[in-house]
């Protein structure tokens, strides 16, 4: 009787270990901006002070020893023109991926969004440089490393 209990315990342990190999981790992180300047690269635009949130989330799955990281970044921002005082809004998202056999992924990506004036000013494109590090344990530090504006919608 004791012997069969040991086999059941071993079998249960192996089953749990096998399920852990295919486990999925996910997490999210918010980067809060408060009057952070965007460098203007648009001749008809103006520098804009941005406030709001950049939300980064991810999931990772392991497929035959390869970690597949699926990352989403989304912003919800308002801005104030530094020359005209015009108000702007931006809200967009994009998906990124990294597949490797390491337990973490370190990526620098660009999140582009329309920076829309609320009245009268020129529309611009906001390009945010994001540095994101994710791992199989659910950790996700992220930071906005640059904000620039370009001409156009």
Q: Which residue has the higher pLDDT, 23 or 53?
A: 53
29-59 pLDDT, tens digit each: 889 988 888 888 877 778 899 999 999 999 9
Task: Give percent above pLDDT 70 in the chain.
Answer: 82
Q: Looking at the predicted structure, is the pLDDT value of residue 131 above 90? A: yes
Beta pairing, strands 124-135 & 25-40: unpaired
Lookup result for tokens 């950049």: 54
- Looking at residue 12, what is its pLDDT? 43
Separation of alpha carbons 143 and 153, rounded Å: 25
Rounded to two decimals, the pTM is 0.79
């Amino acid at each position: 009787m004791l012997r069969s209990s040991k086999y059941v315990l071993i079998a249960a342990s192996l089953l749990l270990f096998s399920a852990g190999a295919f486990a999925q981790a996910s997490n999210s992180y918010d980067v809060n901006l408060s009057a952070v300047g965007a460098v203007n690269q648009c001749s008809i635009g103006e520098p804009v002070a941005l406030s709001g949130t950049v939300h980064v989330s991810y999931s990772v799955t392991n497929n035959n020893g390869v970690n597949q990281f699926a990352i989403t970044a989304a912003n919800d921002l308002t801005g104030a023109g530094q020359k005209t005082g015009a108000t702007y809004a931006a809200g967009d998202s994009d998906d990124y991926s990294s597949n490797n056999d390491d337990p973490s992924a370190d990526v620098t990506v660009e999140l582009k969004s329309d920076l829309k004036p609320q009245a009268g000013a020129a529309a611009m494109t906001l390009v945010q440089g994001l540095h994101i590090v994710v791992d199989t344990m659910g950790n996700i530090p992220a930071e906005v490393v640059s904000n620039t504006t370009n001409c156009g919608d």
